[in-house]
Each structure stands twice: as C-alpha cells, then as structure tokens.
Structure 1
C-alpha cells in the first residue's frame, strides 16, 4: 500500500540489536569514563504514513501573520535540508552533566574533550533509529546525502512536492520586512512512529541570518586633522545644516569626519599589547571565521603589511569544510573567485588584529540552495565541528532574532554549539546590531518586540555585544589619545572609558552631552529638525532574554544578572561603533586597499561583527598562554569561566558587593581599572528607535511612543524607543536596556583587559 511503509529490515534490526555498549575501551577517553548512555532503539513500531503527528512550532510565527503571495512550484529544488534528530532524555542529561564537568577545574573530566565520533556514539541517536528514519526519507522520494558524525542530523534533498507529500505542508512565497521569502505555511506532520526521534526539518524557509556590521564607509584620510572625511549621505544635508547641528558636532553624523582605529589602538585599549610584547600572540591557535562568501586573500596580506603585523607569524587560508562523510559545502564564490565580502574581510582582519600570530581560517559554504536557511554559516560551522580537522575557536558574526527562527532551526543551532563545546571549541557570536531586537540591522524595529539573537542564545557559546569609547561625548579625547599618530597609525594612550554602542537618539549619554534632560527630550527635538526621520535608526549593540533557552547555572553567579529563567545575552562586549559615527575600524579591501599613509580611499567599518572576531582573537591569546602553562589549548565555551571570574570582581547576585564593583567601573579609566579583569560599563543603554505605522496589521510591542504621526518617509505612524514596559513613563528602569553595575543586557559583563584576564584564568584553573 502506498500509504503504509514497513521498513522490515530496519525494524528487525532495531528489535534484534542489543543496547549499545558505547565506545570500545581502546577508543574511550577520560571524559566518557563512568557515563552509561546505553539504550534500546526508540523506533519500534511500523512506520505508517496514515498515522501522523503534527510537530509543534515547526513553521515561522511570522508566516501566521502574513498572507502568501503565491505557492511555489512543485519542482522547486529543496537541497541540503537537515532532518534534526531528538536525543533521549537520558543522553541529553548525560551530555549536560559532562559539559559542566569539562568546565569544572575540580572534576576529573576537566578539559577532557570529545571527538565527533565519540560525541555521536555516546550522545547521538542510535544507528538503528537513524536507519529507520533514513529509509523513510528515501521512501518519500528524498535523496539522503549523508548522516553527520554527531548522529543528530541527516542531510537530505528533494523538491517542494516531496516536502508537501512527506511533511504535509505547503511551501509559499511571503513578503516579510519588504523582502520576498519562501516558507512552509504550517507545522509539519510526520509518522507517529518517528515522533520520538525527530525534532523537525531545518531548511524549509529562506530567512537567512544576517551579517552584523554597519554599512561600510569609504573615506579619505586628512593628515592635518588625522580624521577620515566621509561623504555626506544623500538626502541628509538639510538636517546636517539645521540648527540642531549647532548644539555640537556630536548631534549629527559626518560633520567632523570619522576617526579610524588601527589594530594598535584596540590592542592598547584592551591590554592585548602587553601580551603581544611578551610573546603571547595566538601562535599555534586556529581561529575559524564562518561566513557566506569568501574574500580576496590579498586583503589580509595588505592588512598585515599596512599595520606591521607580519613579524608575529600569523597565517591565512580559505576552505570549504566538509563534515566527515559528507560533501555538501560548495565554494560560494566559484563563479567570481576574486570577489570580496565585507563581513568576511572584517572577521578575518580583526581577529588577526588581536591575535596576529594565530592561524586564520575563513570557512565558507554555499549549500547548493539559496532557498535554505542554512545556506552558508550553519553549514560551514557544523561541518567544521563534525570534521577531521577542527579549529580551536569559531567566530560567527551573524544573527537573527529567535522570533524569526523556526523551532527546528533553533534546535539545530543549539545542538551544533553544544557539540562544539563538548569538543573543546570556543565559539563567539555577535549579539546583533539593532538594539533590543537583532533582526533589524540597518533598519528600524517595527512589527516586533524585544528579542535575542537565535545564534547567540545557546548556553554553549559566548555572545559578544558592542561598546563605544566615551571620550568624544565626554570631551576627554586629549586624555586618552595622542595628538599624533605613530608609525603603525595608532594614537591610543591607554584604556578608554566605554558606554554601550547606540547610534540613535535613545543614547542618553549623547542626550546629556548635548544639554538635554534625557533621551526622550533629545528624540523629540530631533523630530523638529528632521521631520522625515531620515536619521531614525535602531543601530546599536543588541541584547535581550531568550524565549527558548533556559538560564545556565553559571549565568546566575554575578551581581546584576536578570532575575529571570532565560539565557540572557550578551556575555561580554568590545568596541563596535560610535555615536555620530565618529569612530570605526579600518579595513583593507580589494576595491579600496590600504595604501601607506592612507593616500587612497579607505574603508571604515563597525558593528558587533567586529566585536565577536576581536574576542575570538583575545581567546586565542588565552589559549596560547594556558597551553604554555601546561593545559590543553582548547578551552571550550569561555562563558562559564568569564562569569566565575566576574563574580570575584562584581560579587554574587546577593549580599554586599565588593569594593571592586565600583572600582572596576569603566568610568574610572586606566588608573582605576588597571588591576581589573573586566571594565564594567555602567552608563548609557541600547534602547534604540522603533516605529509603528498607522493601521499596521502587526503592531510594534515594547515600544514607548514619544510622538504620533510624524511625516517620516516610513509612513505616518508613531515613533518611539524600545521599552520593557511602554505603559509606564520611559526611564532607566523601563528602557530596553540600560547599563548598570555588574552584568547588564546592554553590555553583559563589559569589556576585558586581556593581560589581566590571562592571569586570572591561570589562577582559576590552578596554573602559573
């Protein structure tokens, strides 16, 4: 019968095979000693296509609010989808316990990392269950491309027609945020016999995670001012010449030029220079930056030459990683091998800036299907983690809100990062570039409320937010920067106080610097001189609570952590951008290569896409330093250790705070924080602008509206700032989100002094 499938051989094998004995003794590691995950196969019933179970939340919530524009053709290819498998409760609990032990210096399993094969054999789905699922996929007309070593993913391909037949959902086209996407119209249904081992299908929609960087600026260096002249943006001249500009150059972007940071500057600011001078440069450590497109290798060579980083011995390579047993990673630039991608250039060059002795590997994939959510970043990352040659560190500067991610895709992300952690790979993810909702990079939050980056809310990664140097708004630049530039184009003298990166009028540090009582007053005044709201923006570092992942134990250790049950981000923060776009980092690109003394146009860039690879570079310094002290280079997720160290400076969630809570305030500058591991960012916030069109089908929650019906180009409606409770008066208690002593949604634990961090890390793990 066509509606019934009896997988005779697979079921017979499942029933006949004894419970798995796990790894053979000669291949087992100390990490697996005493762990018993033996269990019988869970697929034991006949797989009947007439007996179905709907899998909840396996389509995008956005789709339910949007009418489809058309159904897709049955012939539409659906390549390299991922059937995400579900491990048993026994194995899930055992994995969580192991990862906790791997990060506990008092445990015998401390730093005992797994291989992909060990991970899959012990914590994946049984071979018999995988065989049953694979046979069912083939019976539905799909091509099974392979099973990942982790035994948690099956890579398979088909068409929209096979998806409709097998999973009982229609692929449609939708217009979401002014872009056309495909997505499944409803939740999938699967045979009930498979329900215990299947989470869902990742790849049924093409909502891609976005790079988290600002729009690049091509500028010309002016040696007399030591600033880069950035052309005025079209259509913004009137506001720049308005009377508001008379309040000061900080009120309007592009009135005084832009300061370009060199690697020297941020190495000096974050104590990296001290480690570099002592030989800790990331030597021997591999950082993989995962991206959707490649870059011209000469860019990296130019960057290293321009800033005199070549003597440190770092290396550069580009790869299309393949997981063991699969060939689903295609060069995304095969048709244009000499093309550049800004995100990739930023990641590779600024990981090197912090760790000039490290091996930088650019890992890019085109999974062969542009209609797949996992068309690059996920494929590159999961293939690295499941490959035979694995990096010490991964940096992923991409993101999208959990509200824009279906449940199966989110599960796949979290499963991937947990595996990386168990293998000892440290993963750093950008928090996002649009305040309290990371899905609006380059735009304005609308039709959605507070959210967090679905790639960064896993408890097995370290999520990096964004800061801004406070010297410009504070008027203290002469105190922290030299009036001349040195031979590697740097001018920073020391650590510089920081505030959260926020380019909107919601930046209350900017508001007060310009003479306003608060950011609401500043925003209202801005509308007077900018009635079209050309400068309305949600650009700024992101942070917020997860609506999916629970708060890990280690995140409860520090004063200031939110009293919720959610995994909250970010964990830490580094420089990402500047209010008024006064400061950015320098890139060397193929179109605009860096010339000696910057005599030709140069690219300036920012965003948490900068923060994450920089912290990955700092982690490479930690790895080398700890390795030279006798520990394994791999540290796994850095966050548990970072929070344990922060608890010593900031204090625990209850009780009297130590003196170092105030002493390590970023506002104390270099002298006050000289012995601190963390620079605690305590003023400012990441509440950026949001809007709601009149008559909008989808309202904008979590938005405190301060003006109604401005004549802005987005359309008549309401303009506001993001708030945790828009029914109350906007204040530091309700804005989303304000910095505070200890941890905050604005900047996490704050930034770090890399030199002090290495010393504290060594002490934490008991080495000198």
Structure 2
C-alpha cells in the first residue's frame, strides 16, 4: 500500500508584468440550476462501507470548515506547469521569482464571477462562507449535516470501524452542473483520521557524569539494521557541519509546521537541552480554537518542531495548529493558513494516509 504524505504544494511564481494583467475567462456560463446536478466522483471514503454504517447523523450535526477545491482551467494548468519548469532554469527570467498568494490567485485562480457564482450558491443553500483562499484555490464553508444532505445530495452517517466511531458521507456528493467547470471537489466530508507516522522506540537516559546516553536503539528495516539518530548524528551523516561552520544554520529563516495539536513548549526545551542545541522556543499560531494536547498528534507535532529546529538550529519554527472538525483534518486547515498568510518560505508536513483514502480529485 502506498502512503501519500499530506501536504499542500505552494508555488509563488513571478511573471512578467504584462502577463499578470491578462484577464481570466469565466467558465460558469450557465445559470445555476440546483435541480441539474452532477456527482463529485471518488468522494466517498473506502471505510464508509455499509457493513460499518450505524445510521444517519442528526440534521443539526455541525459540519465545520469544509473545503471546496477550485479547478484551474486547462490553459491555466498548462501555463502553471511551464512556469514550474522555468522557475528551476537559471537562464529564465522567472528563475526563483515568487508571487504572493494574492498574485498567484489572480493569475491561476477562477474569474471573479466564477467565485461569486460558487459562493452565491453556497450561501443561498444556507451555508456560511468563512473565506475564499488568497490563492483562489479553496473556499472554506460551514454548515450542518442537514444542509449537506439538502445541497450536496448526500447523507452524513456514523460509521464504526475498529472500535472507533466516525462521521462520513455515505455517497458521493453532487453539485449543480453549471458549477462543475470550476469545482474540482471537496477535500473531505468525514473525520476519518490521517495517522501520525512516528513510532515510539523506547526511553533513554543520560549519565550526568559522562553525558553518555543509553541505550542505543537499533531496529530492522527490510531485514537490515536501522539506527535511531540524534541531531549530531544527522549533522554527521548528511555533512551539515561545514554549513554550520560558515554560518548556514537557519538564522533569518522561518519553517512553518502543520499541526492539529498544541504542544508543551517545555518538551522542546528539554529536547534542545539534551542535545546541546541553543535555546530557541517555537512560535505557536492558533488557527481557530485551541484543540489542546491531542494524543498521538501531540507527539507528531513535538517531533516535527524539534527536528526542524535540530537541523536548522537557529531558524524560527512556527507551529500552526488547527482543530480537526467533523469534515476536515486540522493539518489541511493549518497548511492552508500557512499558504494564505505567507507564514514562511518553507512548510513541513509529516502526516500520511493511503492514497486510496484521498478524494477523487487528488
């Protein structure tokens, strides 16, 4: 089974001024008829199976922060792919030239009238439109299971899988056919979790007299030894020390970490102290309510923050935390927040899930 890392690809690319002024053609050209609908195929989670079904959710069940993904036109997609190539060619005028999210949206997002058509449809169906992403790739909206049933023509059910209960749509949603040219899909309508990928190997202790840590953990990977490493090991294995010696240590840079749990800052301080790293507390940015310390997710956030700061030891580490909802994964919401607010030039996401579990447009 393949595992796809959860991430949001962010491209902020530079274009000649004349190109930025090109008007984007509207693709919603017909009146929106809520009775004329088409399915968003591949949007039912594989674990939302009849054998696990425990019945429909109450209409009042909140469905918070759903993410409607907007589609680029074919010409836009072709231009974007060309631009991706040009960004890596030193002789190109677009080499390493970046756009802000707003500039990206104006060039590669739908026309204003298309976005207006989608948001008008959502609001007339009773949903609250929370925001349109600055990059014009996503619309965040909230509502209830009843509104989802009425407007998206699918029921939210409770599913019991391996001792856990989750909410999920029981069938593929449907949207007005007139909007299909600009709607790629909905990121999710379920709260089946994506899993943190860390594995606990044990507990070590350090001698106060010698500074030596024991035990040294060794596992197996594909029949071969795998060694647990610490920051000093990483610096040696990947020859980072020469960079440190020339002052390339993350100073002046920011790395944004996506998360769906808060952390105990003292854990990061203890990690840095144990491995001789300079004091450097991370920033914690809350995107919505504070979910607190979430089991498993907290450990994943700890590792991500600690190791980003272990390699780029003087960089600013910003952990963006978003609460999971009935419909969306907090890590996705955090990634979008990082992009929309231009938090950092580098974003790290370590969560994974089987590719089969992604929506059909992914």
The DSSP-based 3-state class of the residue aligned with 2:53 is coil
The DSSP-based 3-state class of the residue aligned with 1:90 is helix
1:340 deviates by 9.0
Whether the aligned pair in 1 keeps the contact of 2:46 and 2:357 (CA below 8 Å) is: yes
Q: Which residue of 1 aligns with 2:299?
A: 342
How does the TM-score come out when normalised to structure 1?
0.42
Distance 1:41 1:30, change over 3 A: closer
Whether the aligned pair in 1 keeps the contact of 2:109 and 2:135 (CA below 8 Å) is: yes
Q: Which residue of 1 aligns with 2:171?
A: 186
Q: Which residue of 2 aligns with 1:22?
A: none
1:261 deviates by 3.7
Pick one of 308, 331, 345 that aligns with 1:351.
308
1:205 deviates by 1.0
The DSSP-based 3-state class of the residue aligned with 1:205 is coil
1: distance between equivalents of 2:54 and 2:301? Answer: 34
1:302 deviates by 2.6
Residues 1:404 and 2:345 are matched in the alignment:
no
Q: Which residue of 2 aligns with 1:667?
A: none
Whether the aligned pair in 2 keeps the contact of 1:72 and 1:173 (CA below 8 Å) is: yes
CA deviation vs aligned residue, 1:384-407 (integer Å, no higher than 9, x gap) = 1111x4212111110101111222
Q: Which residue of 1 aligns with 2:256?
A: 288
Whether the aligned pair in 2 keeps the contact of 1:208 and 1:373 (CA below 8 Å) is: no
The DSSP-based 3-state class of the residue aligned with 1:190 is strand
Q: Which residue of 1 aligns with 2:348?
A: 395
The DSSP-based 3-state class of the residue aligned with 1:207 is coil
Distance 1:62 1:31, change over 3 A: farther
Whether the aligned pair in 1 keeps the contact of 2:64 and 2:328 (CA below 8 Å) is: no
Residues 1:319 and 2:319 are matched in the alignment:
no
Within 5 Å, which residues of 2 pair with 1:511-590?
Answer: none
1:99 deviates by 1.6
2: distance between equivalents of 1:320 and 1:149? Answer: 19
1: distance between equivalents of 2:184 and 2:233? Answer: 47
Within 5 Å, which residues of 2 pair with 1:175-254?
Answer: 175-215=160-200, 217-220=202-205, 227-228=214-215
Q: Which residue of 2 aligns with 1:331?
A: 290
The alignment's C-alpha RMSD in Å is 2.9
Whether the aligned pair in 2 keeps the contact of 1:37 and 1:123 (CA below 8 Å) is: no
2: distance between equivalents of 1:155 and 1:250? Answer: 43
Structure 1 or 2, whichever has the larger Rg, is 1
Equivalenced residues, count: 342
2: distance between equivalents of 1:62 and 1:168? Answer: 20
The DSSP-based 3-state class of the residue aligned with 1:53 is strand
Q: Which residue of 1 aligns with 2:58?
A: 73
Q: Which residue of 2 aligns with 1:305?
A: 273
1:315 deviates by 5.2
**Structure of greater relative contact order (alpha carbons < 8 Å, 6+ residues apart):** 2
2: distance between equivalents of 1:227 and 1:363? Answer: 33
CA deviation vs aligned residue, 1:531-583 (integer Å, no higher than 9, x gap) = xxxxxxxxxxxxxxxxxxxxxxxxxxxxxxxxxxxxxxxxxxxxxxxxxxxxx
Residues 1:380 and 2:348 are matched in the alignment:
no
The DSSP-based 3-state class of the residue aligned with 2:165 is strand
1:306 deviates by 2.9
The DSSP-based 3-state class of the residue aligned with 2:65 is strand
1:37 deviates by 5.1
The DSSP-based 3-state class of the residue aligned with 1:181 is strand
Residues 1:160 and 2:145 are matched in the alignment:
yes
Distance 1:211 1:135, change over 3 A: same
Distance 1:366 1:226, change over 3 A: closer
Q: Which residue of 2 aligns with 1:270?
A: 238
Pick one of 133, 151, 168 that aligns with 2:118.
133
How does the TM-score come out when normalised to structure 2?
0.85
2: distance between equivalents of 1:250 and 1:383? Answer: 37
1:250 deviates by 7.7
2: distance between equivalents of 1:139 and 1:213? Answer: 44
1:185 deviates by 1.2
The DSSP-based 3-state class of the residue aligned with 2:135 is coil
2: distance between equivalents of 1:292 and 1:31? Answer: 38
1:346 deviates by 1.0
The DSSP-based 3-state class of the residue aligned with 2:236 is helix
2: distance between equivalents of 1:340 and 1:50? Answer: 42
CA deviation vs aligned residue, 1:167-210 (integer Å, no higher than 9, x gap) = 11111122335432221111111111111111222231112221
The DSSP-based 3-state class of the residue aligned with 1:195 is helix
2: distance between equivalents of 1:402 and 1:250? Answer: 27
Stretches of structure 2 that go unaligned for 5 or more consecutive residues are 1-12, 221-225
Q: Which residue of 1 aligns with 2:10?
A: none
Q: Which residue of 1 aligns with 2:39?
A: 54
CA deviation vs aligned residue, 1:734-758 (integer Å, no higher than 9, x gap) = xxxxxxxxxxxxxxxxxxxxxxxxx
Distance 1:96 1:35, change over 3 A: farther
Whether the aligned pair in 1 keeps the contact of 2:42 and 2:359 (CA below 8 Å) is: yes
Pick one of 107, 117, 123 that aligns with 2:102.
117
Whether the aligned pair in 1 keeps the contact of 2:188 and 2:359 (CA below 8 Å) is: no
Distance 1:261 1:88, change over 3 A: closer
Q: Which residue of 2 aligns with 1:146?
A: 131
Whether the aligned pair in 2 keeps the contact of 1:30 and 1:109 (CA below 8 Å) is: yes
1: distance between equivalents of 2:338 and 2:98? Answer: 16
Whether the aligned pair in 2 keeps the contact of 1:318 and 1:363 (CA below 8 Å) is: yes
Whether the aligned pair in 2 keeps the contact of 1:54 and 1:187 (CA below 8 Å) is: yes
